[in-house]
Structure 1
Amino acid sequence: MAAIGPSSKIVIVGSGVFGISTALWLARSGYKDVTVLDMQDTARMAYDPSCVDSASADLNKIIRFSYGSEIEYQRLATEAAKIWDEWNLEILTAPTNELPERLRHGDRKLWWNVGMLRMSCESDLGDFEITTLDNMEREGIREFQFRTDDDRDVTRARERGWAHKLDPCRRQDRLGTHKAVLDSTAGFVYAYKSCAWAQHLARKAGVKMILDPQRGKVVDITTKSDQPVVHTADGLRYTADLVVVAGGGWTPSLVPEVQGLLETTAGSVANISIPKDRPELWERFAPENQPVITWGSWQGKEVYSLPRDENGTFKIGWRKTKWTNFEDVREQRISVPRTAHVTERKETRLPIDALNGIKEYISVNFPELVPLGITSTRLCWYTDSIDNSFVVDFVPGRPGVAVCSGGSGHGFKFLPILGREVVKILEGRGSQTVYGHMWRWRSSSEPMRNGLEEGEQGPRVLSKQTMATKADWTFTGQ
């Protein structure tokens, strides 16, 4: 395709992390005609997870720098952290009337450096953890990692004020064993507030938004005279120089060519409401006292939790199995989201296996929460790539159409900086960058490709699961 320039007409499909970060960096790089389309009014609803269906529209997301041997992601996450810090300061010092509505009330802080405790249910640390620590040693940041079984690390954690987060589940006292590493550089961000802030910055930079169930809903992308044409549900057509599909879990539906490279999957999330009239619980699960926690085997962590938010919501996620949902899309069977609000068939329940995994995590690690029971559940739909690395590239055989997707459950932390690298790729400079190479259009000859080879015959299909009901939200004996 012809090279894009400042006056090129660019349409971005999707206002989640990948779409809004790309839009922001395009505008800040001098592009004057950038429009974001979305079928959900993420501006009016401010990415509220109670009414917006998107992986980006979530309560909170983990910010981590532990990537094993994937040093490139570790470095990009470290760069992103600097901008998260800048955003925090910018929001804190801005006049209230100059902030988006979502940030005018409650916590005006996006990024919380509360630490992340990588906690094992096994008797020792695994290869991934050892590799991560070795890489951090080489990068000069090992001093911020504290092993619970290393006296020197424990002493250093105590000196730096992190000792109270080394064993928040009191496993050593209760169970007689506790193997974990506390990463004091990590933490979480409020996801919905972060997206609202990024969209606010994009608008200020000149990005146009069409966020509407009809005018913003893309139903097809065709080609005319070697230019992409975007068709929306209201019957209008937008001819562009470049279309960037950043539709999250809806990306494979709009660009079926990604089959075998990307697949829409769902993680399982449950919430427990911690009451303010229980001050011992309220304080214990506050960000000041509770780190982000991952728990499971080092081969594949299965459960995670984040500190309670300002309203008392304690979020737990289960990722051992990522669910698929196959439906007919343009004469193909493609995995598509099945959500609480925007899809024809609605779903808020979790498969019983996922709910039981979450309940086990609570029972073993936080037995004091058992009497409260589960408050709500949701499926978090996103896209997995064949190798968990993003896909940012032009679609072969589709002039002017690019895909920006494949977050694979770890993309949110890069919101402030992802678009910088995407712009380089869209400008044709991808071959000159490490991320352009990592995120290129690709295939795999590996026998197991993150489950993408299973298809509708695989065991992860949602229709094959026994779904939990509200009756399952209580714990045995409660």
Structure 2
Amino acid sequence: MAGITPASKIIIVGSGVFGISTALWLARSGYGDVTVLDMQDTASSGYDPLSGVDSASADLNKIIRFSYGSEIEYQRLATEAAKIWDEWNAEIAATPLDELPERLRDGEKKLWFNAGWLRMSSEDEFGTFELETLKNMEREGIREFQFRSDDEADINRAKERGWAHKLDPCRRQERFGTHKAVLDSTAGFVYAYKSCTWAQHLAKKAGVQMILDSVRGKVLDIGSKEGRPVVYTADGSEHSADLVVVAGGGWTPSLVPEVQDLLETTAGSVATVQIPKDRPDLWDRFSAENQPVIAWGTRQGKEVYSIPRDDNGIFKIGWRKTKWTNFEDVGERRISVPRTAHVTEKKETRLPTDALNGIKEYIEINFPELVPLGISSTRLCWYTDSIDNSFVIDFVPGRPGLAVCSGGSGHGFKFLPILGREVVKILQGQGPQTVYGRMWRWRSSTGNGRNGLEEGEQGPRVLSKQTMASETDWKFAN
């Protein structure tokens, strides 16, 4: 839709990473009538998941990595995002406390922590994927920032640069006699809810309007009148616009049926362990100063990660081996939809037993000192997978004025500061002329490797087919 002008009325459905980044960049690009609708009050809650917000963006923290192996386009965009993450840290540090959003006034005044990312093998040797990744980094000229735990030159370089203490935080060499890992010193994590709060703060300052309410902001349907899209909300209102951008995360396929063969709503499994403040040994050890982000057994059948504790002592562990689906009737089809802790009619905080056992195995093997503490909480993190793990940002065929901005596929958060820049180009009709517009275009898949979307309700990942763990399973066997 090349016809939008600075005066065009634009509605964005969803205030998560994709929606708020798009809103911010539209406003900063001169579009003066941008409104964000969301059924969750992400403003007063500050996106804090502990305040009852359910979305992939509303999380405690997210891994930030700028290395993408052979996916050079994503790597280049991530590298650009890295500069803005640094700028945001500096801007927040320089802002008087009373001028910051409330959620950013507590704890450290920063979003992004360069804690490093340890890609740790669960076996005695590196997997093929890791060796290929290192070769790609060599070609891209960033190998010097990667430290192999079994390479003397790398170990010495890590010592010189102050990273050696993060090469083996689980003491695997000492306990098992072998430790194969690579520490990426460019990576780390961000406080997710604080990052979205900051982006929303910047968007409001740039003139974006927000309707964040369980009734007034809840979108029931998107239709059309006189060739223009119309958004229908739960309070009975009709919002006509020149352009509607649906960035609804896990709710996107429900709102735009045409995207259901491109995107599927799935859930990752997350658990936390509460690190006690009266245990200075553990408190210090699991801090960002001493603990890297860890990925264990990637493509080796384990697929577990952990992120250093936050200011409140919450140590987050995620299990990525299986992404769950939850099928319900939506219109004339049964599709996967979120089943969350707070927002949905049917609520769920439990994890499938397989996921909880995978997380407990990670703790038992790598952090046995946490076993007496047990698991503190569990949640399902709902987002959207695309057929090929690449985003879907394009106009919906046959629906004038309607666009989709979704498909984060578990790796979208790092692009929060920069994504909207490329989205604006696509919305201006430049998509076919830009590398990201071509990557994220409306598409179909013919062949295998559809990220599980072809399974449907008959597949093994459906939540109703799982044995769910209860709180009694949070404790470890003696």
TM over 0.5: yes
Partner of 1:9: 9
Cα distance between partner residues in 1 of 2:242 and 2:128: 47
Distance 2:299 2:384 in 1: 23
Contact 2:298–2:304 (Cα < 8 Å) also in 1: no
Structure 2 letter corresponding to 1:458: G
Deviation at 1:301, TM superposition (A): 5.9
Secondary structure in 2 matching 1:216: coil
* Contact persistence 2:39–2:218 (CA under 8 A): yes
Q: What's 2:421 paired with?
A: 420
C-alpha RMSD over aligned residues: 1.0
Corresponding position of 1:149: 150
The letter for the 1-side match of 2:58 is: A
Return the letter of the residue paired with 2:136.
Answer: N
AA aligned opposite 2:28: R
1:328-347 aligned within 5 A:
328-347=329-348
Q: Please give the alpha-carbon distance, in whole angstroms, between the structure 1 residues aligned to 2:343 and 2:190.
A: 25
Contact 2:40 2:217 in 1 (8 A): yes
- Which moves more between the two structures, 78-87 or 137-146? 137-146
2:115 alignment partner, SS class? coil
CA, structure 1 residues 212+461, in 2 after alignment: closer, same or farther (shift >3 Å)? same
* Cα offsets for 1:233-273 (capped at 9, x unmatched): 00000110000000000000000111121000000000000
Aligned-partner residue type, residue 362 of structure 1: I
**Counterpart Cα distance in 2 of 1:80 and 1:325:** 33
Residue of structure 2 equivalent to 1:22: 22
Q: Deviations over 1:103-147 (max 9, x none)?
A: 112121100000000001123223322232222222222110001
The aligned counterpart of 1:360 is 361
Counterpart for residue 160 of structure 1: 161
Q: Which amino acid aligns with 1:462?
A: L
**Aligned residue for 1:278?**
279
Q: Deviations over 1:55-111 (max 9, x none)?
A: 000000000123221011111111101000000000001011111111112121100
**Counterpart mapping for 1:42-53 below 5 A:** 42-50=42-50, 51-53=52-54
Maintained 8 Å contact 2:2/2:427: no
Report the residue type matching 1:79 in the other structure. E
For residues 266 and 67 of structure 2, what CA distance do their matches in structure 1 show?
23
- Taking the aligned partners of 2:20 and 2:317, their CA distance within structure 1 comes to 26
TM-score (norm 1): 0.98
Q: Which residue of 1 aligns with 2:202?
A: 201
The DSSP-based 3-state class of the residue aligned with 1:76 is: helix
Contact kept? 2:249, 2:383, Cα under 8 Å: yes
Q: Which whole-Å CA distance do the structure 1 matches of 2:301 and 2:259 have between them?
A: 26
**Partner of residue 400, structure 1:** 401
> What is residue 321 of structure 1 aligned with on the other side?
322
1:66-81 to 2 correspondences below 5 Å: 66-81=67-82
Q: Secondary structure at the match of 2:453?
A: coil
Q: Distance in 1 between matches of 2:124 and 2:388?
A: 28
Q: Which residue of 1 aligns with 2:39?
A: 39
Give distance in 2, aligned partners of 1:102 and 1:446.
Answer: 46
Residue type at the aligned position of 1:468: A
Give the TM-score normalised by structure 2.
0.98
Taking the aligned partners of 2:437 and 2:126, their CA distance within structure 1 comes to 33
Aligned mates of 1:27, 1:57 — CA distance in 2: 23
How many Å apart are 1:149 and its aligned residue? 1.4
Q: Deviations over 1:7-60 (max 9, x none)?
A: 000000000000000000000000000000000000011001121000000000
1:93-242, aligned counterparts within 5 Å?
Answer: 93-242=94-243
Between stretches 55-64 and 95-104, larger displacement belongs to: 95-104
List per-residue Cα deviations over 1:346-394 (Å, max 9, x = no partner). Answer: 0000000000000000000000000000000000000000111000001
* Structure 2 letter corresponding to 1:52: V
CA positional deviation for 1:226: 1.4
- Contact 2:388 2:449 survives alignment (8 Å): no
Give the letter aligned to residue 307 of structure 2: L
* 1:311 maps to amino acid: N
CA distance in 2, matches of 1:467, 1:16: 28
CA distance in 1, matches of 2:298, 2:312: 31
Q: Structure 2 vs 1, CA of residues 300 and 186 (structure 1 numbering), >3 Å: closer, same or farther?
A: farther
Q: Does the residue aligned with 2:217 lie in a helix, a strand or coil?
A: coil
1:292 partner amino acid:
V
Q: Deviations over 1:436-470 (max 9, x none)?
A: 11101111112231000000000000000000000
The residue type paired with residue 161 of structure 1 is G
Distance 1:447 1:104 in 2: 48
Q: Is the 8 A contact 2:116 2:183 kept in 1?
A: yes
Render the CA deviation track for 1:290-314: whole Å, top value 9, x for unaligned.
0000001435761000000011000
Residues 1:246 and 2:264 aligned together: no
Query: Contact 1:14/1:37 (CA < 8 Å) preserved in 2?
Result: yes
User: Does structure 2 retain, via aligned residues, the 8 Å contact 1:71–1:135?
Assistant: no
Q: Where in structure 1 are there 5+ consecutive unaligned residues?
A: none
Contact 2:62 2:413 in 1 (8 A): yes
**Structure-2 separation of matches of 1:151 and 1:230:** 61
Contact 1:129 1:298 in 2 (8 A): no
The 3 A distance-change label for structure 1 pair 174 and 196 is: same
Q: What SS does structure 2 have at the residue aligned with 1:229?
A: strand
Are the counterparts in 2 of residues 352 and 467 from structure 1 also a CA contact under 8 Å?
A: yes
CA–CA distance in structure 2, aligned partners of residues 112 and 163 of structure 1: 17
Aligned residues: percent identity?
81
> Paired residue for 2:410?
409
Distance 2:177 2:67 in 1: 27
Alpha-carbon distance in structure 2 between the residues aligned to 1:91 and 1:68:
31
Residues of 2 paired with 1:301 and 1:468: CA distance?
19
Aligned partner letter, 1:345: K
- Letter of the structure 1 residue corresponding to residue 203 of structure 2: A
Instruction: Give secondary structure in 1 for the equivalent of 2:303.
Output: strand
